[in-house]
A and B are shown apart, each in its own frame.
Chain A
């Protein structure tokens, strides 16, 4: 199927990959919801790490095991791991308590916080499209929290 679509030139390869990314992340939310009634957030995160091992190994192979050693870069990467974990634990707790059809779209709004943090701390500009998104995001959170 995949081969046919790409060979005939119907879809560029990157589009197929982008859609597959969307597909797997969508499945992920459902899988977490399925497990959340029996598995505690901490257990879920331990198993999540096990499931991430193939991706990390594949990445190490792609890097030929030469990982960049810049000290500040390492700090941000490790902080990323700690904050991703904290976010995931909260996400699992949310999935235990609410419907996946609401927790999924609300938690996907995390770029809202990134954009605001980048604006405040890095003085990055928020473009008009993003600004409209920020307003809609706040409105949707308000509506869904009622």
Chain B
């Protein structure tokens, strides 16, 4: 198995637990509060990150790109919260946001000239459809649409 597959599966595993903690946490405190405590969890990892992660050795371009990573991800979360607050049905909004890799693929193919085999395109297609279907969580929908 290619290295990137192993690391991607690790990411899925860890983020899968995040989804579970999110469910469990949301029954106790608000989504906003959860986000604040998430940041506290981030800060707890700082000693480990700082052990080898001196960011001052980076060029200003790279620092900008790294920070932009946090900003763009934060904006994505912000607008999902906003959509749900503005009366989005979770049954529509969350599967819709599961389409986000489409833009990443488009940009990577256009600007980084990434080339994929036909079989890989099939795999990507299945992954996108799978993401939309799995996020059709009827329990969460009943909870949020019933408000």
Contacts and interface: CB of A to CB of B under 8 A. Distances in A.
Chain B: number of interface residues, binned into ranges: 35 or more
Contacts of A29: 100-101, 103-104, 107-108
Contact of A94 (B11, B78, B126): B11
A20 to B, nearest CB: 4
- The binding surface of chain A is classed by DSSP as helix
B133 A106 contact: no
A17 interface: yes
- The binding surface of chain B is classed by DSSP as helix
Interface residues of A, number: 112
Contacts of A140: 123-127, 130
A145 B100 contact: no
Contacts of A86: 10, 14
A43 B53 contact: yes
A109 B64 CA distance: 28
B21 A76 contact: yes
B107 A82 contact: no
A94 B42 CA distance: 20
A30 B107 contact: yes
Contact of A43 (B28, B66, B74): B66
A47 B8 contact: no
B83 to A, nearest CB: 4
Nearest to A41: B53
